[in-house]
Amino acid sequence: MTDIVRRRSTFPMEVRARRGQPLGMPPARFLRDYWQKQPLLIRSAFPGFKPPLAPEDLAGLSCEDGVLARLVLHDRRTDRWRVEQGPFAEARYAALPTRDWTLLVQDVDKWDADVAALLDDFDFLPRWRIDDVMVSYAVDGGGVGPHVDQYDVFLLQGKGVRRWRISTDPAAPQALRGGVELKMLADFSATHDWRLEPGDMLYLPPGIAHDGVAEGDGMTISIGMRAPARSELLLDLAEHLAERLPETQRYADRDLTPARADGEIDAAALARVRHALGPLAATLATPELADWFGRFITRYRSAQTASPPPRPTTPAAFVAALRASRPLLRHPWSRCAWSRRGRGATLYVAGQALPCSRAAAVIVCGPVAIPADAVRALPATDRQRLCDLLNDGHLRFGPRPREH
């Protein structure tokens, strides 16, 4: 569900703020007991709170170029959801229904100094950790459906009333609903149900399913955190390291010995790849390294890609062509390689990874022309794999050999 360990806590999930303590406790205690551990509802975190901008100001901001804004509309009768991306024309708001829609505007703190000033009350967090202040305005019934965020967020009620339902059940299903532009949970069952009024604030750590619905028109201010995915960190680090490496440092194989099988990425080659990558390869198991390298090297420096034929070949037509002794020819732009997987193999073709037998991998990676009898000798699953490659454009049938 998330990397955060869920445990039954003895700490209360609802507190009331104290004078000078909008968290209802000293920041150090909040960070120790709640931060990335469990949700917390803080009543009257900002007593007498007045939002720093009016709904009309937010709507006007959503009409400006460069502002990230969305409208989320829900058809209650059909349970259909629709998302519209800004900037919006002013006339769009006059045409909206009286209920079940939400306007969300990102990075409002970058556009409005009064909104940015709200961040001063979150100075117990490193400023670089804070991503943005998103402001949403919703009419009665408005919301974005049940969902999960993978970052910490403080939800401050600015105007009106919003009902928040959350789930702290670690076994709750995480499957997403299909046919919806939003990352909405297919099933959601709340463990806690609260109504937030102006000045109330709800803290949610990453991975907590939640659903907020407006009761009447209202405004919510969301202070969200930066939480880059590990994949984003690694991609950026790899680019950073790559920029510092000279072109002279390359994959090298001065210890190369004659190949035992056409196209095989063998253990010695993988050891050289691991050496070339250095620390970046330290966490990769050999099968994962082989899978990445097989995909990479069959795409590397390919100026063109194969195109599927105008009409696909049926399995029956494929078998008939083989019986007529027509060889298969590999497309000149389709690079191939393979690596061992148990008793079988993984065949790499133009970046694709395809399981097959070793015999199939060897003949696809071998000479450009693949004899029909070699294909006929393969198991049915392999023949279907080659038929698929034919229909992807990586193989084509050559003419029937002349009889002497």
Q: Domains along the chain?
A: 14-225 (2.60.120.650), 229-404 (3.40.366.30)
Give the helix/strand (H/E) hosting 344: strand 344-349
Please give the Cα distance from 156 to 31 (Å, whole number). Answer: 18
| H or E element, residue 356 | strand 352-356
The widest CA-to-CA distance across the chain, in whole angstroms, is 100
Over the stretch 170-222, which tens digit does the pLDDT of each residue have? Answer: 888 889 999 898 999 999 999 999 999 999 999 999 999 999 999 999 999 99
Q: What is the mean pLDDT of the chain?
A: 92
Residue with tokens 């790559």: 242
pLDDT, tens digit (0-9, with 9 covering 90-100), for 29-77: 999 999 999 999 999 999 999 999 999 999 999 999 999 999 999 999 9
Angle at 269 between CA 266 and CA 273, to 5 degrees: 135
Name the pTM for this structure: 0.74
